Amino acid sequence: MDVKKEIRNNRKAIKPTWSDLQTFKTDRHLGLERPSLFKELSGNKIQLGKEFPNINKVSLTEAIKNRRSTRKYSSTPLSFEEVSYLLYETCRIDFVKNGKVVFRSIPTGGATNAMETYVYINNVEGINQGLYHYTQNKHELTLIEQNDSLYDQVNTAMMRQLRSASIVVFFTAVIYRSEYKYAHTAHKMVMIEAGHAGQNLSLSCEAINSGAVCIAAYDQALCDQLLQIDGEEEFTTYIVALGKKE
């Protein structure tokens, strides 16, 4: 690998020339078929809650002040309500306008909704251990995989950073959703979108006396393989591990 060349290319990706979009014909301008807004898998479904009577109310000031990267967790499991709450505040869809503009709990570049969410459940009351996809417009989990080696598979894909977390959240980019509208400027936005989600999730953890660590160092190929995505049109962008504080 030419590392210097790779660095130059990566810098270009995060500082695109926006004025080029005024003259360049994006796929949207060309009238090509719009990509689907949401991903929904077949499989066993778990409908998550939308009311959270047992969640502590903390101020935004407190949540920001107390947020720290947490890498050690107690053996206390998360509750079904707590997992529902975390995903609701981080990944939910509020409404869709005209069937093409998505408004959600985090900013998404041009309302294109490039992000999908997957959850490894390790220690949660009321949800069996396994790998799930979060269906964002229905606020439900769909089972992808359950097997005895899943813990080790997740830990290896995370480069040994699982550390007995209660859940691990994987954010991915379905990249063409953003490229369709923004072409070469899309790639910066999908990474920022993942960062917004990581921050929401980190701050929401404070309301349930839990801690999280956001992880950018992981095995890309193994994570994509674990989530059963192709690694090209959809790929992992960010991981958050979390659990109850010790």
Q: Is the dihedral of CA 165, 158, 200, 130 positive or negative?
A: negative
How far is the C-alpha of 32 from the C-alpha of 43, rounded, in Å?
31
Q: Which of the residues in the chain have pLDDT under 50?
A: none
For residues 140 and 84, is the Cβ–Cβ distance under 8 A? no
How far is the C-alpha of 199 from the C-alpha of 240, rounded, in Å?
10
* Token digits of residue 87: 């995903």
End-to-end CA distance of the chain: 42
pLDDT of residue 100: 86
User: For residue 164, what is the enclosing H or E element?
Assistant: none
pLDDT of residue 22: 86
How far is the C-alpha of 175 from the C-alpha of 235, rounded, in Å?
8
pTM of the predicted protein model: 0.96
How far is the C-alpha of 3 from the C-alpha of 22, rounded, in Å?
32
pLDDT of residue 118: 98
* Token digits of residue 174: 């379905």
Helices within 14-149 (DSSP H only): 60-66, 80-91
pLDDT (tens digit, 9 = 90+) per residue, 233-244? Answer: 999 999 999 999
CATH number for 34-244 (one of 3.40.109.10, 3.40.710.10, 1.10.3720.10, 3.20.20.140): it is: 3.40.109.10
Dmax (CA) for the chain in angstroms is: 56
How far is the C-alpha of 241 from the C-alpha of 214, rounded, in Å?
7
